[in-house]
Amino acid sequence: MSSAPKREFETRNAADAAFWDERFARHFTPWDAQGVPAEFETFAAGLAPCPTLVPGCGNGWEAGWLYARGWPVTAIDFSAEAVASARRVLGAAAVVVREADFFAFTPEPPCQLIYERAFLCALPPALRQPYADRVAALLPPGGLLAGYFYIGETRSGPPFAMPRAELDGLLAPAFELVEDRPSAAPLPVFAAGQERWQVWRRRA
């Protein structure tokens, strides 16, 4: 029995937009759930609409869902191919998608919620502390960082798993953990049982 053909890519550095451009251009997006997790829908339904940022949005399904319900939402990705893909699939909601670097972008109005799905784990480990610093800088006291976190021992990636103690060490100085449970519908690209739904509240 023949094996599936091996995909070969030119770019290997996940910190480079070209890495993601190549994968979106070749329709290799195993992290894309192609829809909105019911867990996220339930979470958002319990909140009043508030300015929301979706970094590393990819195809931006959740951003489109929020937009359709009247939320002020901005979805960003530093990959031009990802942005183009999101604009193709989101229809009228494409207006919320922007090409931007999370580490340099400041949303207007300031966000009160940052939604995390397959963004932090896409970043090389050297960018984890800058990520924690940036979400803390963007959110006001009481603001929420909510979504899915890939917990496990660091390995090659992306996705890059992160030990639980390291994630806590990154976020606990500025955030309080208020929800934590296994993901109800983990992405198949992640190892079984290692994706968790968490909500962190920005400390005063």
Instruction: Say whether pLDDT at 4 is over 70.
Output: no
Kindly report, residue by residue over 87-109, the tens digit of the pLDDT.
Answer: 999 999 999 999 999 999 999 99
Predicted pLDDT of residue 15: 87
Superfamily of 17-24+33-202 according to CATH: Vaccinia Virus protein VP39 (3.40.50.150)
Report residue 1's pLDDT band, with 50, 70 and 90 as the boundaries.
very low
- Cα 14 to chain centroid distance, Å, stands at 14
Kindly report, residue by residue over 142-176, the tens digit of the pLDDT.
Answer: 999 999 999 998 667 789 999 999 999 999 999 99
- Within the chain, strands assigned E span 52-54, 73-77, 97-99, 113-116, 144-150, 175-182, 195-202
User: Taking the CA of residue 111 as centre, how many other CA atoms within 13 Å lie in the half-sphere pointing to its CB?
Assistant: 25
- Within 121-168, strands assigned E span 144-150
